[in-house]
Amino acid sequence: MIRSASVAVTGLGIVSSIGTGRRQFWDALLAGCSGFSRVKSFDTRDYSVHVGAEISDFYPEDYVLELQPAMIGRTSQLAIAASRLALQDGALDLADIDGDRVGVCVGTTSGEPHYIERFDDQYVQGCTEQAGQELLRGYPCHVVPFNIAKELGLGGEVMMIPTACAAGNYAIAHACDLLCAGKADFMLAGGADSFSRITYTGFARLGAIAPHVCQPFDRNRKGMIPGEGAAILLLERRELALARGARIYCEVAGYGLSCDAHHMTAAHPEGEGAARAIKIALAQSNIRPDGVDYISAHGTGTPTNDRLETIAVKKAFGTHAYKVPMSSVKSMLGHTMGAASAIEAAVCALAITYGCIPPTMHWQSGDSDCDLDYVPNTARKHEVKVAMNNAYAFGGNNSSLVLAAYSRSGRQHQ
């Protein structure tokens, strides 16, 4: 397919366990900071693991100004903060534009899990007489983008795409399609998830959580570490961005989505679907495999994911797979679930902007299954004109997003 318009990334809003706001986040990322600590939001006494990547210094009242912070869930609070930061970063004053032409598209894994967790607590204690209203008003995952729209007074298309751990990429992809079709002038798109007992319990039961740190692509990697966070990207058509003199971080050149149709939790053993998503994304972006300068990996740190992801990248990139640096910021942030791929899309935009690649931290020893260049332990200066953002989810939902540098003389990669 040929895109009818180019979509520019003009604002980045990030709330994470290692820093809030573009600058703080990027500095922490390049310094290799980690957000891992003992889980505080619930008691992990009965669990065999106790570490998570929670955000400890988030104050919702700093960002939630129109709604009452206590009346909305934590995921909405994080997402509203990321949205305000993105608008601020993109120097877009909503008072200057028609709110009905601004849409919101967010991805998530769990939406607002605390409401149902609280309901479950009451249920097992046998006291649900008063409980329940929050299951409608607070819990359903669509409330997250709706709360953003309410807080900011936006009236365009408001949508949640809950495709689990790849959801941020799906949301950004759809936002780009809406902009190209002229159905919105601006989109706030990204992902958000708050730390969830249910998610933690499930991954602990699968034996997928590492005891201390997340070490993607390392021979002794022991698993992922659940986290929380939000990232919202301000997206607009290129000509509109130029007309208002916005800073353009990069453009979304294209995307590829595919489904393994294989197994709910196990990825395809040959990385078929993941490789197909990469190929679709490259074809749509009109970029050859050797035109990619950086891959932001899904890189959860589980033995299987990292092995299969490496296979998929080799399958799609051929010999270039060994030349292109690929790092996983989950080594620092943990797995922020539905927010992860949105945060990583922001990482790609920043890598393109600053010519620097964040490291894969906690990497100690090579693995015959994982033998690519994972940018171990130290950030690297590296010119990035084209970055690919890969993310995969339960259900075999695969996604690859291509972000490319923009220059006034035309797209640099062409």
Say whether 165 is catalytic. Answer: yes
**CA pair distance 172, 109, nearest whole angstrom:** 15
Mark the segment that binds another protein (CB under 8 A) among 304-312, 321-329, 341-349, 393-401: 393-401
Q: Taking the complex as a whole, how short is the minimal distance between the CB of residue 167 and another protein, in angstroms?
A: 8
Residue 146, helix vs strand vs coil: helix
Phi, psi of 386 (to 5 degrees): -135, 130
**d(C-alpha 2, C-alpha 10), whole Å:** 22
What's the chain's length in residues?
414
C-beta separation of 112 from 139 below 8 A: yes
Is residue 396 classed as helix, strand or coil in its secondary structure?
Answer: coil
Size of the site for another protein (CB under 8 A): 83
Does 206 sit near another protein (CB under 8 A)?
A: yes
- Does the protein bind another protein through residue 366 (CB under 8 A)? no
How far apart CA 250 and CA 270 sit, in angstroms, is 32
> Residue 205 interacts with another protein (CB under 8 A)?
yes
**Are the C-beta atoms of 344 and 391 separated by less than 8 Å?**
yes
- 174 belongs to the catalytic site: no
Toward another protein, which CB reaches closer, 151 or 218?
151
46 touching another protein, by CB under 8 A: yes
- Rule CB under 8 A: which of 62-121 touch another protein? 99-100, 108-111, 113, 116-117, 119-121
Q: Does 159 bind another protein (CB under 8 A)?
A: yes
Q: Which stretch binds another protein (CB under 8 A): 28-36, 76-84, 239-247, 256-264?
A: 256-264
**Looking at beta carbons only, is 260 or 293 nearer to another protein?**
260
Q: Which two tokens stand for residue 267?
A: 């990825």
Is residue 220 within 8 Å of 45, Cβ to Cβ?
Answer: no
| Least gap, CB of 286 to another protein (angstroms) | 14
Exactly one of 298, 348, 370, 413 is catalytic; name it. 298
Judged by CB under 8 A, the stretch of 19-27, 200-208, 309-317, 377-385 that binds another protein is 200-208
Specify whether the CB–CB gap between 253 and 400 falls below 8 A.
no
The answer to whether the CB of 285 falls within 8 A of the CB of 404 is yes
Q: Dihedral angle at the C-alpha atoms of 31, 390, 21, 178, nearest 10 degrees?
A: 160
Q: For residues 171-190, which are near another protein according to CB under 8 A?
A: 174, 177-178, 180-181, 183
Give the shortest CB-273-to-another protein separation in angstroms: 7
If the CB atoms of residues 159 and 332 are measured against another protein, the closer one turns out to be 159
Q: How many CA atoms lie within 13 A of 273 on its CB side?
A: 20
Work out whether 197 is an interface residue with another protein (CB under 8 A): yes
- Active-site residue, from 114, 268, 335, 362: 335
Residue 335 annotated as catalytic? yes
Q: What is the nearest approach in angstroms of another protein to the Cβ of residue 145? A: 8
* 368 Cβ contact list (under 8 Å, min separation 6): none
| Catalytic residue numbers, as ranges | 165, 298, 335
